[in-house]
Structure 1
């Protein structure tokens, strides 16, 4: 099943802007700050700082989404959030499995990667977007974990997302 622009939009209900638009705005703000950090601290430390800050923000964002979820968070309510990430044709996905315990899909087209490359930020795109995925879900519900072996952002033909729901909380580091 592909979910593209025809997918229903949760944003009309929540008043949220699409994640692609949000990421583009954020990247425009982050880019000059990152460049100064890179000049003063070096590439490795600048990327490490950016990675830590974005992961922390993603956890807090996940917690905020969970707090707005009526009846509490589950893998099913997490799946419903997918419309925010696919809005504006941001992702073309193929859902492999969607149950109460597992949510697997492949990203066949990633406009996040395309956008960062167009902005000259492809070298840190994985920090700006991809690294958020696993910790966002942990912030949303610590019982949700992500396994992914490849991303379009880092040159693969597709991203392979495998979310799992367990009664044992994930203890992913921030």
Structure 2
């Protein structure tokens, strides 16, 4: 991965492009419709990304341990600061205490699109990675909370 750009940088590039597309769609179709279209596209991308990561899992085995092994990609460049709360074969819980994705989108003037561009991806990524993997989250920094509460569960 050392020769690849980090996910935070990738999301920044994508967001700059998405903002321009969103602005054009909003002018033509209205903000609500533009948000809906953008959200669908991001979710589709996230599912595909999850499936691609699953194909790279050791021996094709996807579970919470292999899923957790993807975290360095998301935290690279201090993109996320996390506090792990629980780790077992069927549960992985952590809080995000700093989210540079949210900070970046706000700095770009598109904080209002941040949940669509980032938070929207998390559950969809799980679906693509392993349909047994379920995410419950009740709050996000992007939405104004002090932290994001990620609670992953592997259904057996």
Bin for the TM-score computed over the shorter chain? over 0.9
State which of 104, 115, 136 in structure 2 corresponds to 1:126: 115
TM-score, scaled to structure 2 = 0.97
Q: Secondary structure at the match of 1:146?
A: strand
Q: CA RMSD in A?
A: 0.9
Cα distance change on mapping 1:16 and 1:78 into 2, 3 Å: farther
Aligned mates of 2:151, 2:145 — CA distance in 1? 16
Q: Secondary structure at the match of 1:31?
A: helix
State which of 31, 42, 56 in structure 2 corresponds to 1:54: 42
Aligned mates of 2:32, 2:137 — CA distance in 1? 23
TM-score, scaled to structure 1 = 0.87
Structure 1, unaligned runs of 5 or more: 1-10, 168-174
Aligned mates of 1:127, 1:16 — CA distance in 2? 24
Aligned mates of 1:102, 1:16 — CA distance in 2? 30
Q: Secondary structure at the match of 1:108?
A: strand
Query: Does 1:40 find its partner at 2:50?
Result: no
State which of 103, 107, 124 in structure 2 corresponds to 1:114: 103
Q: 4+ residue runs of structure 1 moved beyond 4 angstroms? A: none
Structure 2, unaligned runs of 5 or more: none
CA displacement 1:72-99 (0-9 Å, x = unmatched):
2111100010101100000111000111
- Flag the structure with higher helix content: 2
Aligned mates of 2:23, 2:148 — CA distance in 1? 28
Q: Say if 2:82 and 2:98, in contact at 8 Å, map to a contact too.
A: yes
Q: Corresponding residue for 1:97?
A: 86
Q: Corresponding residue for 2:63?
A: 74
Aligned mates of 1:77, 1:17 — CA distance in 2? 21
